[in-house]
Amino acid sequence: MEPTVVIETKKLTKYYGKQVGVMDLDLAVHEGEVFGYLGPNGAGKSTTIKLLLNFINPTSGSTAVFGKDPQKQSTGILGDIGYIPGEIHMYDTLSGRDHLKFQASLQGGVDWKYVKKLAFRLQVDLNKPIKSLSHGNKQKIAIIAAFMHEPKLLILDEPTTGLDPLIQREFYDLVSEVNQAGSTFFISSHVLPEVERMCHRVGILKEGRLIVTEEIDTLKKRAVRSLEIQFAREVKTADLQGIKGVRELQVEGNIAHCRVEGSLDQLIKKISKYEVLNLITQEADLEQVFLDYYKRDKNVA
């Protein structure tokens, strides 16, 4: 059975005057998925999100969230969405509790025990007035506000900004749990390790255009990792040349450095003829994949 599509855009385009916000966007996010939306600042991530939430109108193209058009049925959609804005602004004079109570009332009520549980997990004091909170603590209130009504879809614009690493990890766990329980996530980010950690699939955005959509695992397979091989004896460059996926090979005495795209199989088989003392590898870095996509795109253009 085909998975249900939660977010779908076709040729979605938004111009701000003559400036492109997003261009010919074809997105499909499926139910139960954690979708990462990647791109540098200004690539159109927030524009896409504002189109999904009906804060702005598209220039052309179509959008469907839960199968409904946000322009025509936004109120029918928004009750099932939790949203963290890219820039958090709140009613400063309210306490965290009063702010959340107000937001809860707009959503039509929430289970307050769940709010308390979230506040405890994220370690934020709900009694303090918002204006006295640090950036990170405001972010935590915004996270609670997005999760508290247990929405079916969470649209999070750079959700971990300002969080310290410990709370970030708690947040990743929270996303994973809520996702296990059935909620779909659309998370924009420019922080790659975070996307790698949370998301099943990513779309990479560049200057308003979606340049690729890929499973995280596929990306990882294509990811380039750096390798250092320490041999017992001196090896020649020629001995290690011509192996599939190996680039930037450098041999100095009995140490070889190279970068490998995808599987290490071919390389391992080749070097097994030699006595290998040590093999140091770094975890595949999506940053590299990301940059590669950008480079490739540039070469084409």
Partner 1 sequence: MWPKILTQSLKTQRKSFIFWIVGLVGLIALYMAIYPSVQESAQALNEYIEKMPEAFRAAFIGESDYASPVGYISSEVYTQMLPLLFLFYAIGVGSSAIAGEEEKGTLDILLATPIRRSRVVLEKWGALIGGLLFLSVVVVLGLFIGIEFVDITIALDKLIAVTLSLLLLSLSFGTLALLIGSFTGSKGVAIGLTTAVAVLTFFINALAPIVDFLEKIQKVSPFYHYTANNPIVNGLDWGSVLFFTCISLVFLILSIVAFRKRDLMI
Contacts with partner 1 by CB under 8 A lie at 50, 53, 55-57, 74-76, 78-79, 81, 83, 85, 87, 89-91, 93-94, 102-103, 105-108
Closest approach, Cβ 101 to partner 1, in A, equals 10
What are the structure tokens assigned to 117, written together?
Answer: 């549980």
Q: Closest Cα partner for 156 from 170, 142, 136, 176?
A: 142
CA-based angle 160:164:169, to the nearest 5?
A: 70
Closest approach, Cβ 37 to partner 1, in A, equals 17
- Please, which residue, 36 or 82, has the CB nearer to partner 1? 82
Strands 60-65 and 5-16, by their bridges, are: antiparallel
- Please, which residue, 56 or 264, has the CB nearer to partner 1? 56
Closest approach, Cβ 177 to partner 1, in A, equals 23
- The most distant pair of C-alpha atoms in the chain lies apart, rounded to whole Å, by 72
Interatomic CA distance for residues 119 and 140, integer angstroms: 8
Closest approach, Cβ 25 to partner 1, in A, equals 17
- Please, which residue, 25 or 289, has the CB nearer to partner 1? 25
Strands 184-189 and 153-157, by their bridges, are: parallel
Interatomic CA distance for residues 3 and 140, integer angstroms: 32
Element housing 96 (H / E): helix 96-107
Other beta carbons within 10 angstroms of residue 106's beta carbon come to 11
Closest approach, Cβ 85 to partner 1, in A, equals 5
- Residue 158, SS3 per DSSP: coil
- Please, which residue, 4 or 93, has the CB nearer to partner 1? 93
- Please, which residue, 78 or 267, has the CB nearer to partner 1? 78
- Check: CB of residue 19 under 8 Å from CB of residue 44: no
Closest approach, Cβ 142 to partner 1, in A, equals 10
Q: What length is written for the chain?
A: 301
Interatomic CA distance for residues 257 and 248, integer angstroms: 8
- Residue 132, SS3 per DSSP: helix
Closest approach, Cβ 133 to partner 1, in A, equals 15
Closest approach, Cβ 124 to partner 1, in A, equals 17
- Please, which residue, 103 or 160, has the CB nearer to partner 1? 103
- Please, which residue, 102 or 274, has the CB nearer to partner 1? 102
Return the CA Rg of the chain.
23
- Please, which residue, 28 or 53, has the CB nearer to partner 1? 53
Strands 19-30 and 184-189, by their bridges, are: unpaired
